[in-house]
Amino acid sequence: MTRTAVVNDYQHPQPGASSTLTLDERVSQEILKNGIKRPKGYTVSYHSNPEVEKMHFGPKHPMKPWRLTLTNKIVLAYGMHEAMDVYVPRAASFLEMTEYHKEDYVQFLSWVTPKIKLDMETSNVIPYNMGDDCPVFDGLYDYCSLYSGASLDAARKLTNNQSDIAINWSGGLHHAKKAEASGFCYINDIVLAILQLLLYHPRVLYIDLDVHHGDGVEQAFWSTDRVMTLSLHKFDKANFFPGTGGSDDTGPKNGANPGAHHSLNVPLHDGIDDESYVQLFKDVVGPCISTYQPTAIVIQCGGDSLGGDRLGCFNINIRAHGACVDYTKKLGLPLLVLGGGGYTPRNVARLWAHETSVCLGTDLHPSLPTHTPFIEHFAPDKSLYPELSQTGRYDNKNSGKYLRDIVTSIREQLRYVQGSPSVQLQYLPPDLGAVRDEVEREIQEEREAKDLGRRRKERGAGTRGEYAH
C-alpha cells in the first residue's frame, strides 16, 4: 500500500468533526450565541469526576450513572465550562466517609463483591440492606468514594471562599442511612458535605426537590437546630417509597430537643403542575429564610420530579424545576447544588444542563448544539426544553386549598423556631479538611518510601527501572 493510500484511508476518531479546531470553533459560536460568560460578582465551580460515569448498577436497574455523561456533554457543547471553575475532585477517603457512617458499614462496602454477595444470598445473610434496590456491583466502593469526594470538594470550595455556587451532579444521594444503604444510595454525600459546611456556617438550610422524601438527610440532623431540612415530595405512606415525610413529621416530639420543628415536609399528591409547584416553593422557602436565617444552602435537584420520569408522578417541566433553583440562587447565600434521583437519563441531563445555566445566569438556546455527542438520544425534537408535562400525564390531585393548607402548616411550624439558634455551646464536627491533608501526607510518604526502596535496589548491577513494577 502506498503512502497516499494510508493517508486517504484514515478516518478522524471523532465522528462529525473534521478536526478538533472545528469543534472548538463550534463551541465558541455557541458561547457567543448564548452570551455565556463568567458571572459578575460571584464564582461558580463545577465538580465532576468522569470515573463515576463508568459505573453500572445492572441492565434492569433504573439508576444510570451514564446520565452524568449526557449532562456533561451538553454542558461542554454549549461552552458553559468556559464560565466556571472546573474541578476533577479526588475520591473521598475511608476516614472522611466515616465522619458520618459506621466504620463496619464502610468497611463492608470496601470489600464486598458481586460474588461475595452471591455467597451471602446462599446463606440467607445479606447485611446492610443490600439487595435489588441497592445492588452490589463491580466498583461499588469506588463509586461511593468518587461521588462523595466531589460533594466534599464542592463544600470546601464554598467554605474557602473559592466559590459562591458549587455544583456536583453526581451527588445528592439522600436516602443512605448511617449504617445501611437505601433507595439506590450507599453513602450520604449530602450529610458529609453539610458537616463540612457546619465547620464554618452556624446554620445550613437543606432543600430537597426529589420526588422522593429526603429521609436520610432528615434523619441525620433530626436532633439539631443547626440544620433545617425542607423536602417537597410525593407522599403516600403505604404505596410510595420511602413512606415518610408527612406534614406532621417536623422533628423530635419533645419540644426541648433542639431539632424540634426543624424538619419541614411538603407532602404532595400526584400530578402537581409548573405554576402550582413554583409558587408553593416560593411560599415555603421564603418564610424559612426569613425565620431561620441560614448562612448557607444545600439544594438537592432530583430529576425524578420531572414529568415523564420512569419512577416519578409529577407534571413538572424543566424550566419550572429550574425556577426553584433560580429563586434559591437569588437569595445570595453560599449555595451547594447537587443531583439526586432521575430515571429518564435524557431528561435528567437536560434538566441539570439547564440548571447549570441558571447558576451562571445564562439563557440557553432551546435547540441542542448540533455537535452535542449522543444527540440522537434527544430525538425527535433534539431540544433542551421538551414538553414533559404531557408525557404520561397524571391528573393533578393537589387542590388549591390543599396547597394553601400546606403553606399554613409550614408557617405554623416556623412559629416555634425561636429565631436563629446560637451555636456557641454546640458541638462542631472535626475538620474534614485536616483529615484530608493528613491522608494526602500519608499517601505522599508511602510513595516516597517506595521510591527510596526502589532507588536503593537499583544502585546495584542492572538497568535503571527494572524494579519499578
Question: What would the DSSP string read from start to end of 144-207?
Answer: HHHHHHHHHHHHHHHHTTS-SEEEETT---TT-BTTB-BTTBSS-HHHHHHHHHTTT-S-EEEE
Write down the catalytic residue from 47, 175, 201, 213: 213
Q: Which helix (H) or strand (E) holds 29?
A: helix 20-34
Q: CB neighbours (10 Å) of residue 41?
A: 7
Coil/strand/helix, residue 231: strand
Confidence of residue 393 (pLDDT cuts 50, 70, 90): confident
Inter-CA distances, 369 with 31, 175, 231, 361, Å: 11, 35, 34, 19
Q: Kindly report, residue by residue over 339-381, the tens digit of the pLDDT.
A: 999 999 999 999 999 999 999 999 999 999 999 999 999 999 9
The reported pLDDT for the residue numbered 55 is 97
Between CA 454 and CA 235 the distance in angstroms is 61
Residue matched to cell numbers 468514594 = 145
| 107-121, 209-223, 440-454 — most confident range | 209-223
Residue type, 139: G
Residues 6+ apart with CB under 8 A from 131: none
Residue 383 β-bridge partners: 367
Residue matched to cell numbers 432528615 = 218
Closest by alpha carbon to 316, among 359, 355, 285, 283? 355
Q: Quick one: how many helices (H) and strands (E) in the chain?
A: 14, 8
Q: Is 127 exposed, middle or buried (0-12, 13-18, 19+ CB in 10 A)?
A: middle
Residues 6+ apart with CB under 8 A from 7: none
Residue 263 β-bridge partners: 229
| Phi, psi values for residue 298, rounded to 5° | -120, 125
Q: Is 213 a catalytic residue?
A: yes
**Cα-based torsion angle of the residue sequence 276, 277, 279, 280 in order, rounded to the nearest 10 degrees:** 100
For the chain, the first-to-last Cα distance in angstroms comes to 39
What's the length of the chain?
Answer: 469
Mean pLDDT of 453-457: 58
Q: Which of 85-89, 143-147, 191-195, 419-423 has the lowest mean pLDDT?
A: 419-423
pLDDT above 60 (res 149): yes
Q: What is the pTM of this model?
A: 0.87
pLDDT above 90 (res 159): yes
Mean pLDDT of 311-319: 97
Coil/strand/helix, residue 76: helix
Between CA 456 and CA 447 the distance in angstroms is 14
CB 129 within 8 A of CB 224: no
